[in-house]
Amino acid sequence: MRYDHIMLDLDGTLTDPFVGITGSYRYALAQIGRPVPDDVDLSWVIGPGIADNLDRLGVPPSEVDAVVAAYRERHTAVGLYQAVLIPGIDALLEALVEAGATLALATAKPESQGVETLVHFGLDSRFAVIGGIRHPVTTTKGEVVADVLERVGVTDRARVVMVGDRRHDIEGAHENGLVAIGVGWGFAADGELVAAGADHVVGTVDELRALLLA
């Protein structure tokens, strides 16, 4: 194997969280009188941090806390459990662990939600570290990656790779001197991963397996 440590994004990389995340955004925005019509595409909210998304949605600063609270209330109770595992991911993670890789999660979700999701799918035991947003320690994807690297105890970053489906994953990896692999089954816009400078882009789980286990 070319990598000793493999860091993985969650939403759009390991799971398809479309129903749960977009439903939670619609619920939260409706609570402050800013409903989003059903025909408006919200797939782009999957990946970036919630603060960036609310800014793009035009939520004024005075209403951000209320939206975040409503979103997290609904998402932790309902949305998390509406995610589905990407076909083939379970077997890939098992193969990576058997090959001797150390796995770590690096998600822009609150860390507790990352833990809950992996526990829900029975994947938590495969990860040495489950990392996410931990206020005030981490607020950006780059900071999450740095935090996870420290907690894993990485000494040779040339032997670490980050796998994710959005530009934030690619940028967070490169901020920390890591190779970045973009996966094409997630929620990136056309050309987004290449434009972000991904070192590799794969279209299927089998392609990812071949690259990681080479």
Torsion of CA 24, 28, 30, 32, to 10 degrees: 180
- Give dist(CA 36, CA 40) in Å, integer: 7
Answer positive or negative: Cα dihedral of 71, 75, 196, 160.
Answer: positive
DSSP state of 101: P
CA-closest candidate to residue 213, choices 167, 171, 172, 161: 161
CA-closest candidate to residue 8, choices 119, 148, 135: 148
**Is 190 known to be catalytic?**
no
CA-closest candidate to residue 187, choices 9, 59, 30, 45: 45
Torsion of CA 203, 205, 210, 211, to 10 degrees: 60
Among 4, 9, 199, 206, the active-site one is 9
C-alpha R_g of the chain: 17
CA-closest candidate to residue 183, choices 162, 209, 164, 206: 164
Which residues belong to the active site? 9
